[in-house]
Amino acid sequence: MQRENISGFITSSLALPADLSHGTARITLLGGTVVRIENHDGIRGFRPDEIRVASGKGEIIIAGEELSLSVLAGEELVAEGTIRGLTLDFEEGDRP
Protein backbone atom coordinates (compact mmCIF):
# COMPACT_ATOMS: atom_id res chain seq x y z
CA MET A 1 0.00 0.00 0.00
CA GLN A 2 1.38 3.35 -0.92
CA ARG A 3 2.02 6.03 1.71
CA GLU A 4 -0.87 8.29 0.61
CA ASN A 5 -3.28 5.40 0.60
CA ILE A 6 -2.17 4.41 4.09
CA SER A 7 -2.73 7.93 5.40
CA GLY A 8 -6.12 7.99 3.66
CA PHE A 9 -7.01 4.63 5.19
CA ILE A 10 -6.05 5.82 8.69
CA THR A 11 -7.97 9.09 8.26
CA SER A 12 -11.13 7.32 7.15
CA SER A 13 -10.79 4.54 9.74
CA LEU A 14 -10.40 6.98 12.60
CA ALA A 15 -13.03 9.28 11.11
CA LEU A 16 -10.58 12.20 11.15
CA PRO A 17 -11.24 15.37 9.13
CA ALA A 18 -10.07 14.87 5.55
CA ASP A 19 -7.93 18.04 5.53
CA LEU A 20 -5.65 16.51 8.12
CA SER A 21 -4.42 13.88 5.72
CA HIS A 22 -1.26 14.77 3.89
CA GLY A 23 -1.51 16.32 0.48
CA THR A 24 -5.17 17.23 0.59
CA ALA A 25 -5.77 20.79 -0.49
CA ARG A 26 -8.22 22.89 1.44
CA ILE A 27 -10.01 25.44 -0.75
CA THR A 28 -12.03 28.27 0.72
CA LEU A 29 -14.07 30.49 -1.58
CA LEU A 30 -15.20 33.81 -0.11
CA GLY A 31 -17.98 35.24 -2.25
CA GLY A 32 -16.78 35.70 -5.78
CA THR A 33 -13.63 37.67 -5.02
CA VAL A 34 -11.30 35.66 -2.77
CA VAL A 35 -10.03 32.10 -2.94
CA ARG A 36 -7.77 30.69 -0.27
CA ILE A 37 -5.93 27.46 -0.98
CA GLU A 38 -3.97 25.65 1.69
CA ASN A 39 -1.71 22.64 1.20
CA HIS A 40 -1.04 23.37 -2.47
CA ASP A 41 2.04 22.21 -4.31
CA GLY A 42 3.05 25.40 -6.05
CA ILE A 43 2.10 27.72 -8.89
CA ARG A 44 1.97 26.30 -12.38
CA GLY A 45 0.69 29.26 -14.25
CA PHE A 46 -0.16 32.85 -13.57
CA ARG A 47 -2.09 35.20 -15.83
CA PRO A 48 -4.60 37.94 -15.00
CA ASP A 49 -7.41 35.69 -16.25
CA GLU A 50 -6.19 32.35 -14.93
CA ILE A 51 -4.15 30.99 -12.06
CA ARG A 52 -3.13 27.34 -12.10
CA VAL A 53 -2.16 25.80 -8.79
CA ALA A 54 -0.65 22.33 -8.43
CA SER A 55 -2.23 20.01 -5.92
CA GLY A 56 -1.51 16.29 -5.65
CA LYS A 57 -1.64 14.77 -9.15
CA GLY A 58 -3.78 17.49 -10.62
CA GLU A 59 -4.45 21.18 -10.77
CA ILE A 60 -6.79 23.73 -9.30
CA ILE A 61 -7.67 26.27 -11.95
CA ILE A 62 -9.00 29.67 -10.92
CA ALA A 63 -10.55 31.51 -13.82
CA GLY A 64 -11.60 35.13 -13.66
CA GLU A 65 -10.57 38.72 -14.33
CA GLU A 66 -7.83 40.88 -12.87
CA LEU A 67 -6.63 38.05 -10.72
CA SER A 68 -3.76 38.59 -8.30
CA LEU A 69 -2.14 36.71 -5.46
CA SER A 70 -2.39 38.84 -2.37
CA VAL A 71 -0.44 36.24 -0.40
CA LEU A 72 1.83 33.47 -1.65
CA ALA A 73 3.48 31.83 1.33
CA GLY A 74 4.68 28.24 1.50
CA GLU A 75 1.63 25.98 1.29
CA GLU A 76 -0.88 28.77 1.40
CA LEU A 77 -2.04 31.24 -1.20
CA VAL A 78 -4.80 33.80 -1.40
CA ALA A 79 -6.04 34.78 -4.83
CA GLU A 80 -8.14 37.91 -5.32
CA GLY A 81 -10.04 39.35 -8.26
CA THR A 82 -13.31 38.67 -10.06
CA ILE A 83 -13.62 34.91 -9.89
CA ARG A 84 -15.66 33.33 -12.68
CA GLY A 85 -14.85 29.69 -12.14
CA LEU A 86 -12.97 27.19 -10.06
CA THR A 87 -12.01 23.95 -11.78
CA LEU A 88 -10.50 20.87 -10.18
CA ASP A 89 -8.55 19.13 -12.92
CA PHE A 90 -7.50 15.68 -11.60
CA GLU A 91 -6.95 12.28 -13.00
CA GLU A 92 -9.70 9.77 -12.23
CA GLY A 93 -9.30 8.29 -8.74
CA ASP A 94 -7.21 11.15 -7.50
CA ARG A 95 -8.47 13.87 -5.27
CA PRO A 96 -7.26 17.39 -4.84
Partner 1 sequence: MNLLGKRAGYVSVAVDNGTSGLELVRRLNEEGIELFSVVYQKERIVFDIARKDLLLLRERAASLHCHLHVLSFGGLCFFPKKMKRFYAFFAFFAFFLLMMTIFSSFVWKLEIVSADGEALQEATVAEIEAAAEAEGLFLPLRKSSVKNGAYGDKILARCPDLAWLETECDGIKLLLRAAERSTAKIENDGVADIVAAKDGMIREIFVLRGQALCDVGDTVKKGDVLIDGHIVYEEEGKEPVYAETEAKGIITASVWYRGTAYVSLRQITAKPTGRVEGKIYVEKGDRRIVLFDSGEKSFANAVSEEKTLSFRGWQLTSLTYREAVAGEKLLTEKEALAAAEKKAGTLAQRKIPVTAKIVGRHRCLEKDIEGAVGVTVLLETEESESFIEMK
Residues within the interface to partner 1 (CB under 8 A):
42-48, 67-74, 76-77
Measured from the CB atom, the residue of 10 and 43 that comes closer to partner 1 is 43
Supply the minimum distance, in Å, between the C-beta of residue 55 and partner 1.
13
Pick 32 or 42: Cβ nearer partner 1: 42
Residue (12 or 28) nearer to partner 1, CB: 28
Count the helix, strand and coil residues of the chain and give each as a percent rounded to the nearest 5: 15, 55, 30
Residue 14 C-beta: closest distance to partner 1, Å: 29
CA atoms within 13 A on the CB side of 50: 7
3-class secondary-structure state, position 5: helix
Distance CA 77, CA 92 (A): 25
